[in-house]
């Protein structure tokens, strides 16, 4: 693992790191914020999964999460959204290829060699974090935005017992019935029969999540029809799932929206992480 930068931040340290990934076959960059408490022992972990076109840097610099995490004494992890590099396949569209890994493992050429973001996020990066940082991996929660909200919800439900709480900002909730999902799943997985359990609404209709959920979506979100919020809300209600879906009047899909409600989300996760 190579340290790219480390900066003092709210009494802790915001670092950016790079390592060779066996899952993706590329170098991967990620960021970790450690609060001051990490100097004295392992601290709980909150993951933030970013959305389409983003890298580790977007949420790290725009979400305003570090101050609230420092106040609660929890670490933040910001992974990248896809493999990158000259030899990594890409597409001219912003919603496929580099920057659009969808937190799944591709099985179709040309994506299958490098696009293994499920394995990377669920297995390889957690193992590296546990080895290299003072993190209490028995206390993890997860959040994300848009495509990253999709990843947060699916990881939380597909890995029971891993995360104590899950939240999301304007998540893609029903990708198998959305323009943001059907296109990418067809490219990465081929025939629809191979798409697997990577739809948050389908997972909610199944076992649901063994903890609390918080979702915020803006009423003026310019991508609202692509998100499938209504389908997920219906699945939550039918399941009697513990949680809240809040429609925030006048807010859109941007980081202005995310930063406005970040304090709520960090406090929500801190309650679960420290309980």
Burial degree of 2 (CB within 10 A; 0-12, 13-18, 19+): exposed
Active-site entry in 56, 114, 150, 253? 253
Active site residue 252: no
- Give the start-end residues of each E strand in the chain: 2-9, 12-20, 27-34, 43-49, 75-78, 135-144, 166-169, 213-218, 243-248
d(CA 143, CA 150): 9
For residue 200, give the 3-state DSSP assignment: helix
Active-site entry in 50, 82, 141, 146? 146
Active site residue 112: no
- For residue 98, CA distances in Å to 54, 89, 184, 247, 267 come to 9, 7, 12, 30, 32
Peptide bond into 108 cis (omega under 30): no
Active site residue 145: no
Active-site entry in 56, 221, 265, 269? 221
Instruction: Report the catalytic residues.
Output: 146, 221, 253
């Amino acid at each position: 693992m190579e340290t790219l930068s480390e900066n003092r931040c709210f009494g802790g340290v915001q670092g950016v790191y790079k390592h060779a990934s066996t899952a993706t076959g590329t170098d991967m960059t990620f960021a970790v914020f450690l609060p001051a408490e990490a100097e004295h022992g392992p601290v709980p972990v909150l993951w933030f999964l970013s959305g389409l076109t983003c890298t580790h840097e977007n949420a790290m610099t725009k979400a305003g999460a570090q101050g609230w995490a420092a106040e609660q004494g929890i670490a933040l992890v910001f992974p990248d959204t896809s493999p990158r590099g000259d030899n990594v396949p890409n597409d001219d569209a912003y919603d496929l290829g580099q920057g659009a890994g969808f937190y799944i493992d591709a099985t179709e050429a040309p994506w299958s060699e490098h696009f293994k973001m499920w394995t990377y996020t669920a297995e390889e990066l957690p193992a590296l974090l546990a080895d290299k940082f003072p993190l209490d991996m028995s206390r993890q929660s997860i959040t994300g935005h848009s495509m990253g909200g999709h990843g947060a919800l699916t990881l939380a439900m597909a890995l029971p017992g891993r995360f104590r709480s899950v939240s999301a900002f304007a998540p893609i909730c029903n990708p198998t019935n959305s323009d943001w999902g059907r296109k990418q799943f067809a490219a990465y997985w081929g025939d629809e029969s191979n798409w697997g359990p990577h739809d948050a609404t389908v997972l909610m209709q199944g076992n649901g999540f063994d903890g609390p959920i918080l979702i915020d979506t803006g009423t003026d979100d310019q991508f609202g029809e692509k998100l499938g919020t209504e389908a997920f809300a219906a699945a939550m209600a039918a399941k009697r799932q513990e949680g809240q879906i809040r429609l925030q009047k006048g807010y859109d899909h941007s980081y202005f929206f995310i930063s406005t409600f970040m304090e709520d989300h960090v406090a929500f996760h801190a309650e679960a992480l420290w309980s």
